[in-house]
């Protein structure tokens, strides 16, 4: 996946032939993977997420040189430093999770639960 910073709070995501930009992105760092979701839980691009080494960032506001990372921590920190929309304090939005049932013990369980609700039209 490629993430390009185009301006203040303006990030575009590219994967294969798809492009995506939205203001309601959630970035989930799970092990060595980054998962991109909407605030409502919609999967963006890939359910399993992307290994940190499969993600390249370009800051087009200062020349746009490719940035690759040797750890998930470096990737997360760089996104924070760039003002990535998933980390902005003043982001506006809400998520109505409803009544969560079952056992949720990790971010992956929550993601799977949200995906199931999304696919099944509101029922787990």
CA Rg value for the chain:
15
In a domain, 76, yes or no: yes
Q: Which two tokens stand for residue 82?
A: 């760039």
Instruction: Tally the domains of the chain.
Output: 1
- Low-confidence stretches of the chain (pLDDT beneath 50): 91-98
Where in the sequence is the domain holding 11, given as residue range(s)? 2-93
In a domain, 110, yes or no: no
Q: Rounded CA gap, 26 and 42, in Å?
A: 10
In a domain, 14, yes or no: yes
Q: Rounded CA gap, 86 and 33, in Å?
A: 15
Residue 55's pLDDT is what? 95
Q: Rounded CA gap, 107 and 5, in Å?
A: 26
In a domain, 38, yes or no: yes
In a domain, 124, yes or no: no
Burial 19-51 (b: 16+ CB within 10 A, else e): eeeeebbbbebeeebbbbbbbebebbbbeebbe
Question: HEC states along 41-79?
Answer: CCECCCCCCEEHHHCEEEEHHHCCCEECCCCHHHHHHHH
Q: Which long-range contacts (CB under 8 A, 24 or more apart) does 17-21 make?
A: 18/45, 20/44, 20/45
Residue 2's pLDDT is what? 94
In a domain, 98, yes or no: no
């Amino acid at each position: 996946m490629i993430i390009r910073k185009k301006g203040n709070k303006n990030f575009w995501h590219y994967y294969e032939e798809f492009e995506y930009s939205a203001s309601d992105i959630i970035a989930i760092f799970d092990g060595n993977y980054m998962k991109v979701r909407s605030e409502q839980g919609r999967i963006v691009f890939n359910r399993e997420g992307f290994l940190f080494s499969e993600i390249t960032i370009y800051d087009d506001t200062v020349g746009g040189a490719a940035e690759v990372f040797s750890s998930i921590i470096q990737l997360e920190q760089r996104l924070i430093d760039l003002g990535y929309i998933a980390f902005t304090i003043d982001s506006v939005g809400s998520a109505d999770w409803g009544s969560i049932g079952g056992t949720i013990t990790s971010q992956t369980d929550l993601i799977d639960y949200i995906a199931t609700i999304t696919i099944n039209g509101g029922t787990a």
